Amino acid sequence: MTTVDDARLAYVALSLLVEPGNRDLGIEVAEHGPVATLDRMVAGRVRAQLYGAAAARLRTGPPLRSAQQAVEHAERMGARIITPLDDEWPAQLADLATISRDTAHRIDRDTYPPLCLWVRGPWELAQILGSSVAVVGARAASPYGNHAATELAYGVADRGWTVVSGGAVGIDAAAHRGALTAGRPTVAVLACGLDRPYPVSNSGLFERVAEDGLLVTEWPPGSLPHRHRFLVRNRVIAAATRGTVVVEAAVRSGAVQTLHRAIQLGRTAMAVPGPVSSAMSVGCHEALRTEGTRLVTGASHVLEEVGSIGVDLAATPRGPVYDHDRLDAKTAQVLDAVPARQAAGPEQIAAAAGVALTDALYALSELVAAGFAIAKDGGYALAPPPKRSAA
């Protein structure tokens, strides 16, 4: 019998062995759980490609010892490592597993959900991501774009929403500044280790974000911001939030990729228009010419798209708020199989719902995130009727 602590540590160990988003590893973990998957990795009983990806790191020492050291390292640097088993884990990240399923015939690797996140800052991650919007865009932003991003992020934050962005100069930095000016937390999702936030010119900003918001990354300390990692990181920004706004972007920019991820995930995709003469608005305009991206000119448009204005956002339940009607067929099927009082295990629920265990696990994590179900006694049960806390 493995304990929750064993499983948490196994998640951390796995995340140290293989680069984030790995599809093979994601499927292994969904099928076998983190502890058994780690055993299988060590024993070489996984797909050759997956084993190959981890082989070099496996030789550096026992994975669980590395994981324990990582946890201690995080503590020493005033950070923490969270896994899908932690309360503050943003359950909506599980939606990332659907990208690979939907585009199985296309080469779209490294889109699986994170296995753990390094977090630094005083907020509960899941809680402040419950009502959050990604505001992203070009590094080489124009003064117009910087101004628009700051204004938009200020407005969104001022209405109680959390701004999420990367850590780049330009639009990302402008968005964080806008949110911080509104006195609200902002979340910077990095593509490198917390010990070396990139770029260095944003060091002051990162310190403020760590004090008043959250610095988040999938990569352990020491990881450098390789180009590929930015693209992998983008999926987290898209999945963590209710919608993504691109403020300025050149053609084929990373920000536009984040927008496409948002569309793949069923999140709201938005773009801010700009002067047609500006190269920095070309990516936005192209996105707006394709289906599925909404034009927004400011915070009120953004909130019109992602949620109702006037909702008491301080009382928003943890996790994203989904309407019952918005559940897809399979998730609704699983919900019908969740018992009201005595918790049932995922296998039992999967059998009752008539779906595969993997599908049941994803559906259950979504249902928990949405407040329909709760994790209880090692299984799942229906959530009690919602209460709004005074806080």
Residues that bind a second copy (CB under 8 A): 144, 147-148, 272-277, 281-282, 285, 288-289, 294-295, 297-298, 301
| CA R_g for the chain | 20
The span from the CA of 233 to the CA of 173, in Å, is 16
Question: What does each C-alpha distance from 207 to 22, 211, 273 come to in angstroms?
Answer: 30, 6, 31
Considering the complex, state which of residue 153 and residue 236 has its C-beta at the smaller distance from a second copy: 153
Measured from the CB of residue 273, what is the shortest distance to a second copy in angstroms?
3
Considering the complex, state which of residue 277 and residue 342 has its C-beta at the smaller distance from a second copy: 277
Measured from the CB of residue 52, what is the shortest distance to a second copy in angstroms?
46
Contact criterion met (CB below 8 Å) for 199 and 168: yes
Count Cβ neighbours within 10 Å for each residue of 289-322 and write b for 16 or more, e otherwise: eeeebbebeebebbbebbbeeeeebeebbbbbbb
> Where does residue 38 rank: exposed (0-12), middle (13-18), buried (19+ CB within 10 A)?
buried
Considering the complex, state which of residue 283 and residue 346 has its C-beta at the smaller distance from a second copy: 283
Measured from the CB of residue 292, what is the shortest distance to a second copy in angstroms?
13
Measured from the CB of residue 280, what is the shortest distance to a second copy in angstroms?
12
Measured from the CB of residue 30, what is the shortest distance to a second copy in angstroms?
39
Considering the complex, state which of residue 144 and residue 322 has its C-beta at the smaller distance from a second copy: 144
Considering the complex, state which of residue 92 and residue 281 has its C-beta at the smaller distance from a second copy: 281
Measured from the CB of residue 243, what is the shortest distance to a second copy in angstroms?
15
Measured from the CB of residue 362, what is the shortest distance to a second copy in angstroms?
33
Considering the complex, state which of residue 71 and residue 295 has its C-beta at the smaller distance from a second copy: 295
Measured from the CB of residue 253, what is the shortest distance to a second copy in angstroms?
17
